[in-house]
């Protein structure tokens, strides 16, 4: 064996075999649980085996946790009933809402299977297989190959792997994810259920109680839950919506715990966290602190204000803009917490000190110095180059999202270019496997399209681009708008919207099917703009791929060094693959002389009531509190109906809707948030204050029973007391 392989076998074995101590930090791969972590689980009372958590030979808990829309969900009945967050199901409610039937505000309950309605655009991804595909991904890759070609080889290898593993049935989707900076690649294979229906969504003043004021905050008093259902064709295979479809029968589902929950109780999360960035360099963190988050906060605030202004004036706008407002508002508060947290922990300086110690370790050993002596300087150089490009690409990316019509046009235009290529040569996202999703996106956009807001948001972003620093401007926009006054910009926008038909769904779908030549013959103003912008976007993409090709080797080398330095005691960053995390029910102290208890109750819900949004307790819930008709849902220690609780689990975006599982393997709660003080834990875990917030399973049962009388849903659940 060569001393210096492209992947060091020693390193790979080291990080797969090592444990990570006894911290609740870490989002572990369920099929590679470190033994020290599993032993801690046992010490905390966990009663199941590792195979009960993840197995390819028999049904396991990992198959009960699923990807649903942008979050996570779990099967909770043998009839395909899915539990997830109210905010995860929010877009389904928005897309089915109208002035006559406002599901956003009033909620929804289907009393029978026939009453269940489609959740437009929602799909359930059920994990069926995980494979190590590292050697297949890196086939043909070497240091001698030019950077962009290196990037393209990996991209093409991944496309080939996915195409082969998915097969021709159309029932499965595969994803190949990078771990440890590209040292390992795993393929996840999912069965995809395309017919998802709305079963039960509580009213907004329960499911989103506290609104943006309470978002990311503790103490919390929201019932952030919803129930959906997965349907398949009569033969059991995934199918598009049809009245003939039947409920999907999952191989495993979670029992619903109504047991008492106390401080110190074990809690396990199984879910699909989006992204953490815990192995960035100081230079990368500096970019987030000095540019990414400050600019993001500024832009998001103005964007939200535009949409909310229209929503206040027009009820139709309020419904159409609701999903976008909710998403942007969540990001806005998240960015504020990130920036505040990164500054408070002084992470840039902390990273610099860590890097200094790392290089002292390298320089103390001649062999290490020879192999890794320049790695940090190489990283810094590439990072600086990448960040300059990112500033411009970020502005153009936001502009592309600013108008739904522009977004439609860019998709249609790009597809007219990619369809002329062989399938394997097309860009990811535009292959044959992606066509149904592209078409679906064009259709779903109609449900959130409100032209007055579309025009106002576009104007805001055009002004941002036109007034941006030189290196962040768009040459296309500069050339098209000579008069940069409000009048000139208004005239440009008016002409755009007058000379397009993209607001018409039928026209969009016909345009999608046209050849490149026929599409351009339409002389549609938005298509023409998209065609010009695509040239600029492609130029940025070309540069970014070259940089990514360079970074592939350097990042891998850096992670190799970290693994040696830490003796393998690091875990992979979150990347939307299934992860396991453990913790306990526990409060925290956010500042001097303040301590937060880990559980809230219905008493706190009533104390916050102001009679108006976002603190407006439903009339029915007030009556229950007045008559004290709490049934058997009172916590014996709290002497009241429990609502939400804190645990020390490590979670992030994408974990929303993840089941919180007790020591018996039962669902004890529903994860929906983190606390504001620890948002920056995505970059650096903080054991003393990092907490996960979940809805108590007993509050879900209480609301379903006493408030909404969802007896049909309750009968489906296997409730353990």
State the pLDDT at residue 22: 44
Angle at 17 between CA 13 and CA 19, to 5 degrees: 140
Tell me the two tokens of residue 297.
């906060």
The C-alpha atoms of residue 430 and residue 352 are separated, in whole angstroms, by 41
Tokens standing for 140? Answer: 């043909």
φ, ψ at 662 (rounded to 5°): -85, -175
Asked whether 644 and 671 are in contact (CB, 8 A), the reply is no
- Backbone torsions φ then ψ of 273, nearest 5 degrees: -65, 145
d(C-alpha 590, C-alpha 218), whole Å: 10
**Spatial distance between the Cα atoms of 298 and 458, rounded to a whole number of angstroms:** 16
* CA 488 – CA 467 distance, rounded (Å): 14
pLDDT tens-digit readout, 580-639: 999 999 999 999 999 999 999 999 999 999 999 999 999 999 999 999 999 999 999 999
Largest CA distance in the chain: 77
Report helix, strand or coil for 156: helix
Q: What's the pTM?
A: 0.94
Contact 584, 280 (CB under 8 A): no
Residue 406 CA to residue 388 CA, distance in Å, equals: 25
Beta-carbon count within 10 A of 605 CB = 25
Tell me which of 107 and 399 has the higher pLDDT: 107
Model confidence at 6: pLDDT above 70: no
Q: Give me the pLDDT at residue 20, please.
A: 43
pLDDT, tens digit, 9 for 90 and up, residues 33-46? 999 999 999 999 99
Supply the pLDDT for residue 603. 98
Averaged pLDDT, 294-298:
96
Three-state DSSP state, 392: helix
Q: How far is CA 586 from CA 40, 312, 717, in A?
A: 17, 40, 28
What share of the chain in percent tops pLDDT 70?
97
- What's the rounded mean pLDDT across residues 693-720? 98
Integer Cα distance of 584 and 687 in angstroms:
12
Query: What would the two tokens of residue 283 be?
Result: 């230079």
Any bridge partners for residue 176, and if so which?
Answer: 187
180 neighbors 563 (Cβ within 8 angstroms): yes
- Dump pLDDT digits (tens) for 194-232: 999 999 999 999 999 999 999 999 999 999 999 999 999
Average pLDDT, the chain: 95
- pLDDT band at 260; cut points 50, 70, 90: very high
| Domains of the chain, residue spans | 375-569
| Selection from 182, 141, 140, 189 nearest residue 164 by Cα | 189
Which of the residue ranges 221-225, 251-255, 291-295, 385-389 would you say has the lowest mean pLDDT?
A: 385-389
Identify the pLDDT of residue 589. Answer: 96
As beta bridge partners, residue 694 has 645, 671
Read off the pLDDT band of 23 (50, 70, 90).
Answer: low
Write out pLDDT tens, residues 535-554.
999 999 999 999 999 999 99
Q: Which of 227, 329, 349 is nearest to 283 (CA)?
A: 349
Q: Output DSSP code: residue 448.
A: G
pLDDT at 504: 98
CB 104 within 8 A of CB 204: yes
Residues with catalytic annotation?
87, 224, 656
Q: Are 704 and 201 in contact (CB under 8 A)?
A: no
pLDDT at 393: 86
Is pLDDT of 118 > 70?
Answer: yes
Position 472 confidence tier, pLDDT thresholds 50, 70, 90: confident
User: Residue 194 carries which DSSP code?
Assistant: -
User: What size, in residues, is the chain?
Assistant: 721
Write down the pLDDT at residue 417: 98
Contact 673, 600 (CB under 8 A): no
470 band by pLDDT with thresholds 50, 70 and 90: confident
The rounded distance, in Å, linking the Cα atoms of 311 and 301 is 15
Q: Which helix (DSSP H) or strand (DSSP E) does residue 387 occupy?
A: helix 375-402
Sequence-ordered alpha helix ranges (H) in 425-480: 435-444, 451-466, 475-480
Can you list the alpha helix ranges (DSSP code H) found in 485-617? 486-498, 505-512, 516-521, 525-565, 602-608
């Amino acid at each position: 064996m060569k001393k210096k392989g492209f992947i060091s076998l020693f390193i790979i074995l080291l990080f797969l075999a090592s444990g990570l101590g006894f911290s609740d930090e870490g989002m572990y791969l369920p099929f590679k649980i470190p033994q020290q972590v599993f032993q801690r689980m046992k010490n905390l009372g966990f009663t199941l085996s590792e195979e009960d958590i993840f197995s390819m030979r028999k049904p396991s808990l990992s198959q009960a946790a699923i990807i649903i829309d942008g979050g996570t969900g779990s099967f909770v009945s043998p009839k395909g009933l899915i539990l997830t967050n109210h905010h995860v199901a929010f877009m389904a409610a928005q897309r089915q809402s109208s002035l006559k039937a406002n599901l956003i505000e009033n909620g929804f309950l289907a009393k029978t299977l026939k009453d269940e309605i489609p959740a437009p655009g929602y799909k359930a991804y059920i994990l069926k297989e995980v494979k190590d595909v590292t050697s297949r991904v890196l086939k043909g890759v070497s240091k001698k190959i030019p950077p962009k070609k290196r990037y393209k080889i990996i991209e093409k290898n991944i496309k080939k792997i996915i195409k082969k593993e998915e097969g021709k049935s159309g029932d499965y989707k595969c994803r190949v994810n990078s771990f440890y900076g590209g040292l390992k690649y795993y393929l996840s294979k999912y069965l995809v259920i395309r017919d998802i229906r709305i079963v039960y969504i509580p009213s907004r003043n329960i499911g989103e109680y506290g609104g943006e004021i309470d978002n990311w905050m503790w103490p919390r008093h929201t019932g952030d839950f919803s129930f959906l259902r997965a349907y398949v064709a009569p033969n059991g295979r995934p199918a598009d919506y049809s009245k003939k479809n039947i409920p999907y029968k999952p191989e495993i589902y979670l029992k619903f715990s109504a047991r008492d929950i106390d401080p110190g109780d074990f809690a396990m999360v199984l879910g699909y966290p989006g992204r953490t960035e815990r192995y960035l360099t100081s230079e990368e963190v500096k970019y987030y602190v000095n540019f990414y988050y400050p600019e993001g906060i500024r832009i998001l605030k103005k964007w939200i204000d535009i949409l909310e202004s229209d929503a206040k004036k027009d009820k139709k706008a309020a419904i159409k803009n609701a999903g976008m407002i909710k998403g942007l508002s969540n990001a806005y508060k998240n960015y504020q917490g990130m920036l505040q947290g990164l500054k408070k922990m002084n992470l840039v300086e902390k990273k610099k000190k860590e890097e200094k110690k790392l290089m002292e370790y390298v320089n103390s050993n001649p062999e290490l110095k020879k192999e890794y002596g320049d790695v940090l300087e190489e990283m810094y150089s590439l990072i600086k180059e990448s960040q300059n490009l990112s500033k411009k690409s970020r502005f153009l990316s936001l502009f592309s999202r600013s108008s739904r019509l522009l977004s439609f046009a860019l998709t249609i235009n790009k597809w007219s270019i990619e369809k002329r290529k062989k399938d394997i040569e097309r860009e990811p996202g535009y292959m044959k496997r992606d066509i149904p999703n592209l078409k679906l996106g064009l259709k779903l956009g109609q449900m959130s399209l409100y032209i007055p807001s579309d025009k106002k948001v576009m104007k805001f972003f055009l002004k941002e681009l036109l007034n941006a620093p030189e290196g962040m401007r768009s040459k296309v926009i500069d050339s098209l708008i000579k008069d940069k006054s409000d009048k000139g910009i208004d005239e440009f926008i008016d002409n755009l919207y007058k000379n397009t038909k993209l607001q018409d769904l039928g026209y969009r779908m016909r345009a999608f099917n046209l050849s490149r030549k026929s599409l351009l013959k339409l002389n549609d103003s938005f298509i023409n703009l998209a065609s010009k912008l695509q040239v600029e976007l492609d130029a940025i993409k070309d540069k970014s791929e070259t940089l990514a090709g360079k970074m592939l080797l350097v990042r891998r080398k850096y992670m190799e060094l970290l693994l040696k330095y830490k003796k393998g005691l690091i875990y992979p960053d979150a990347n939307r693959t299934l992860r396991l995390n453990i913790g306990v029910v526990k409060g925290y102290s956010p500042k001097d002389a303040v301590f937060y208890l880990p559980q809230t109750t219905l008493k706190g819900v009533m104390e916050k009531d102001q009679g108006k949004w976002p603190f407006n307790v439903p009339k029915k819930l007030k009556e229950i509190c007045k008559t004290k008709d709490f049934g058997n849902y009172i916590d014996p220690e709290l002497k009241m109906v429990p609502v939400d609780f804190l645990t020390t689990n490590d979670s992030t975006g994408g974990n929303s809707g993840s089941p919180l599982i007790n020591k018996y393997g039962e669902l004890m709660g529903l994860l929906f948030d983190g606390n504001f003080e620890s948002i920056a834990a995505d970059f650096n875990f903080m054991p003393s204050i990092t907490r996960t917030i979940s809805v108590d399973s007993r509050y879900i049962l209480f609301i379903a029973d006493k408030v909404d009388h969802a007896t049909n849903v309750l009968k489906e659940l296997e409730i353990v007391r």
